[in-house]
């Protein structure tokens, strides 16, 4: 099989992991665990897998609390292991499964990490929402799995740590996030020198409006994304452009590039999923209808391709593609994400935690839309005042590939991330009434 990875190790790009082994590439059915199977991404993963029963065997499914849907998925796929967030969810799940099917049901973070570590599993889909997805990603990385990564927060919170782990264990990362998947496809297998990665952004439902005009936006208005069907949290992130901010950080860690090598273009049609500019001045763009099934199927089948995953683009029906530069002054969340990335990993943890709490508060009707970046800025300012109270990371340590050592290394770093994450959430919740 041809080397598919050269373009991902150009001098200006240093992709986070090596490529999957020939054994993985040629062994079917692929044994899969889906973390976050009841979410928007997870449901699409299940759909694709059900359409290709000879290609995949699902050994584990995990969700937070949507046990009704989890039970339905489990009855179709019959995995040996399930995981849910709470003991109460486990009890409810038990009542939904028949006598003749009794999988092992695990609980909480330990449950998710146990599923991602199962010996027989070669492929882990990390599709939980938010910071909660980090532990599953780390477990998959420690165990050298092929990780189909939809949870961008894993790289926002611990990009360097994940890089160290997958390099130590020969783990592999295939990106599901549509923009990063587009860049990955444009780069893989090429030998030309890439110069810039151009991330496209739809701009969300308020594209063309000034930030100051958005003060009275309601959650219902912000949840109406024009192009993509997604979960609530990421849809609000799209409306504030924080999603693109997180994706800049994700892209820096994934492709090993500097902030200056990334540009954001507002492209309201969401047809070009992202582009690479090469040194000769040429561009490669990846295009298609806006449907997450495309990057998901591409990762699951990599390096092959499934047939007819999404419908064709109709180029002759007035397809009109427009692009404008995303100005920092127009999008305070984009500016905050760049600032956090320039400051360091700790600040990226603060950025993400403050944003998660601010989005919850906005959805609950407790703060105005435009308070979201103000609360994030408050989180970063508060962290700057208390920085000396927190331990610092040891992300790039030479850790070898011994699993017990790696687990300790991960646990130490995870503890620091959790500490910063929890404290930030507390600061933001306590202060939100002032915003
Ligand atoms: Mg995306």
User: pLDDT band at 397, cuts 50/70/90?
Assistant: low
Beta bridge partners of 275: 198, 285
Could you tell me if 248 and 339 are in contact, meaning their C-beta atoms sit under 8 angstroms apart? no
- Is pLDDT above 60 for 109? yes
How far is residue 23's CA from residue 27's CA, in Å, rounded to a whole number?
A: 6
The contacts of residue 307 (CB under 8 Å, 6+ apart) are none
CA–centroid distance, 405 to ligand 1, in Å, is 34
Interval 235-264 mean pLDDT = 96
CA–centroid distance, 143 to ligand 1, in Å, is 26
Inter-CA distances, 176 with 197, 299, 393, 422, Å:
17, 7, 27, 28
Pure H helices in 212-344: 219-222, 232-240, 242-255, 293-301, 332-343
So where are the chain's domains? 2-179
CA–centroid distance, 40 to ligand 1, in Å, is 13
Interval 105-132 mean pLDDT = 96
Tokens of 30: 């692929």
User: pLDDT band at 2, cuts 50/70/90?
Assistant: low
CA–centroid distance, 124 to ligand 1, in Å, is 19
CA–centroid distance, 428 to ligand 1, in Å, is 26
CA–centroid distance, 369 to ligand 1, in Å, is 21
Mean pLDDT, the chain, rounded, equals 94
Beta bridge partners of 199: 264, 274
How far is residue 134's CA from residue 149's CA, in Å, rounded to a whole number?
A: 11
- Per-residue pLDDT tens over the stretch 358-388: 999 999 999 999 999 999 999 999 999 999 9
CA–centroid distance, 96 to ligand 1, in Å, is 34
- pLDDT, residue 386, reads 97
User: 190 exposed, middle or buried (CB, 10 Å; 0-12, 13-18, 19+)?
Assistant: middle
CA–centroid distance, 80 to ligand 1, in Å, is 31
Task: Say whether pTM exceeds 0.85.
Answer: yes
CA–centroid distance, 292 to ligand 1, in Å, is 9
- Per-residue pLDDT tens over the stretch 295-339: 999 999 999 999 999 999 988 888 899 999 988 778 999 999 999
CA–centroid distance, 155 to ligand 1, in Å, is 13
CA–centroid distance, 434 to ligand 1, in Å, is 32
How far is residue 66's CA from residue 39's CA, in Å, rounded to a whole number?
A: 9
Pure H helices in 364-388: 371-386
In this structure, of 20-24, 243-247, 387-391, 400-404, the range with the lowest mean pLDDT score is: 400-404
Q: What is the dihedral of CA 34, 40, 259, 425, to 10 degrees?
A: -90
- Is pLDDT above 90 for 253? yes
Angle formed by the axes of helices 403-431 and 371-386, nearest 10°: 120
Choosing among 3.60.15.10, 3.50.50.60, 3.40.50.720, 1.10.10.60, the CATH entry for 2-179 is: 3.40.50.720
CA–centroid distance, 93 to ligand 1, in Å, is 32
CA–centroid distance, 177 to ligand 1, in Å, is 5
CA–centroid distance, 247 to ligand 1, in Å, is 7
- Per-residue pLDDT tens over the stretch 153-173: 999 999 999 999 999 999 999
CA–centroid distance, 179 to ligand 1, in Å, is 5
- pLDDT, residue 372, reads 97
Interval 90-109 mean pLDDT = 97
Other CB atoms closer than 10 Å to residue 51's CB: what's the count?
Answer: 12
The contacts of residue 195 (CB under 8 Å, 6+ apart) are 12, 261, 277, 278, 279
CA–centroid distance, 228 to ligand 1, in Å, is 10
Which parts of 150-271 are beta strand (E)? 172-175, 194-201, 262-266
CA–centroid distance, 106 to ligand 1, in Å, is 30
């Amino acid at each position: 099989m041809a080397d598919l990875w050269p373009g991902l190790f150009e001098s200006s790009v240093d992709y986070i992991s090596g490529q999957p082994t020939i054994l993985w590439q040629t062994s079917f059915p692929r044994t899969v665990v889906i973390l976050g199977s009841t979410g928007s991404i997870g449901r699409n993963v299940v759909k694709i897998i059900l359409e290709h029963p000879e290609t995949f065997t699902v050994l584990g499914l995990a969700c937070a609390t949507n046990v009704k849907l989890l039970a339905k998925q489990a009855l179709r796929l019959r995995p040996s292991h399930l995981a849910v967030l709470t003991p109460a969810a486990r009890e409810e799940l038990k009542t939904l499964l028949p006598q003749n099917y009794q999988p092992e049901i695990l609980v909480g973070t330990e449950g998710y990490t146990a599923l991602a570590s199962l010996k027989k599993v070669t492929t882990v889909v990390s599709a939980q929402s938010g910071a909660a997805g980090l532990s599953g990603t780390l477990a998959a990385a420690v165990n050298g799995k092929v990780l189909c990564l939809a949870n961008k927060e894993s790289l926002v919170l611990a990009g360097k740590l994940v890089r160290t782990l997958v390099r130590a264990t020969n783990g592999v990362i295939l990106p599901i996030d549509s923009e990063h998947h587009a860049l990955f496809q444009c780069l893989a297998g090429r030998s030309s020198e890439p110069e810039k990665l151009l991330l496209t952004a739809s701009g969300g439902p308020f594209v063309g409006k000034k930030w100051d005009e958005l003060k009275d936006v309601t959650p219902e208005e912000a949840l109406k994304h024009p192009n993509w069907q997604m979960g609530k949290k990421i849809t609000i992130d799209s409306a504030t452009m924080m999603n693109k901010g997180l994706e800049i950080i994700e892209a820096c860690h994934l492709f090993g590039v500097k902030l200056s090598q990334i540009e954001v273009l507002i492209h309201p049609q969401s047809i070009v999923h992202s582009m690479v500019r090469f040194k000769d001045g040429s561009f490669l763009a990846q295009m298609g209808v806006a449907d997450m099934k495309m990057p998901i199927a591409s990762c699951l089948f990599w390096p092959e391709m499934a047939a007819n995953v999404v419908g064709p683009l109709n180029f002759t029906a007035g397809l009109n593609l427009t692009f404008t530069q995303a100005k920092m002054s127009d999008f305070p969340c984009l500016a905050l994400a760049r600032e956090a990335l320039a400051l360091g990993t700790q600040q990226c943890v603060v950025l993400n935690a403050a944003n998660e709490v601010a989005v919850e508060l906005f959805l609950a009707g407790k703060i105005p839309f435009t308070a979201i970046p103000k609360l994030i800025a408050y989180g970063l300012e508060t962290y700057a005042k208390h920085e000396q109270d927190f331990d610092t990371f040891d992300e790039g340590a030479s850790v070898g590939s011994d699993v017990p050592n790696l687990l300790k290394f991960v646990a130490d770093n995870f503890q620091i991330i959790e500490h910063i994450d929890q404290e930030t959430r507390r600061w933001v919740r306590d202060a939100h009434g002032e915003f």
